Amino acid sequence: MIQHVRETGPNRYRESFGRYFEEFRVGDVYEHRPGRTITQTDNVWFTLLTMNTHPMHFDEEYAQASEFGRCIVASPFTVALMVGMSVTDVSQKAIANLGWREIRLTAPLYAGDTLYAESEVLEKRESAWLPRFASGEVRGGIGLTEPNAGTDLQAIRTVARRDVERYYRDAPLMCIGEGTNEMQRIIIARQLVERHPV
């Protein structure tokens, strides 16, 4: 866990976590501490929250007859916990985690086990478009407003529909920006989810 403290006033300090891009070095390994001991309550709550109905996570009688001999922790909980443990080291100063690759769960996790995690910097890559926005080389706008919504994201009714590899919005959108001078635009819309009867 990387922690910085800065003075905000006379005898006042504020902690800050995470790393900036420049602080990551290829080959470095960050050991995320403290660890986390998993309870069966954690496991059952997570399966209920995520609608995972596999009895291996909450039915001891069923699990005793399996190759594991007891309930195992739901693997998405293991992944979510490791990602959470990494935040103060890796992504506290980031905007978002963009994805994960090559996740392998090589051994079961049981209630009572303590999980530790670490991250290794394999490569670094600057954003292809964000620095161009920041420098002014690319002018852009953000679609945060529409009639009767203002800048209230909850009130936005514009819907994006997916068609193969692209999204299309269902209505014109009023944007904040430089209009016809924009080279890039970020649009915020609700995603339409097709529902089919069961």
Q: What is the pLDDT of residue 104?
A: 86
What would the mean pLDDT of 19-25 be, rounded to a whole number?
A: 88
| Secondary structure string (H, E, C) spanning the chain | CCEEEEEEECCEEEEEECCCHHHCCCCCEEEEEEEEECCHHHHHHHHHHCCCCCHHHCCHHHHHCCCCCCCCCCHHHHHHHHHHHHHHHHCCCCCCCCCCCCCCCCCCCCCCCEEEEEEECCCCCCCCCHHHHHHCCCCEEEEEECCCCCCCHHHCCCEEEEECCEEEECCCCEEECCHHHCCEEEECCEECCCCCCC
**What pLDDT was estimated at residue 52?**
93
The DSSP bridge partners found for residue 119 are 30
Which CATH number is correct for 3-120, 3.40.50.620, 3.10.129.10, 1.10.1510.10, 3.40.50.2300?
A: 3.10.129.10
Instruction: Check pLDDT > 70 for residue 22.
Output: yes
* Most confident option among 66-80, 82-96, 97-111, 163-177: 66-80
Domain boundaries, the chain: 3-120, 130-191
Taking residues 155-174, what's their average pLDDT?
67
HSE of 142, CA atoms in CB hemisphere, 13 A:
5
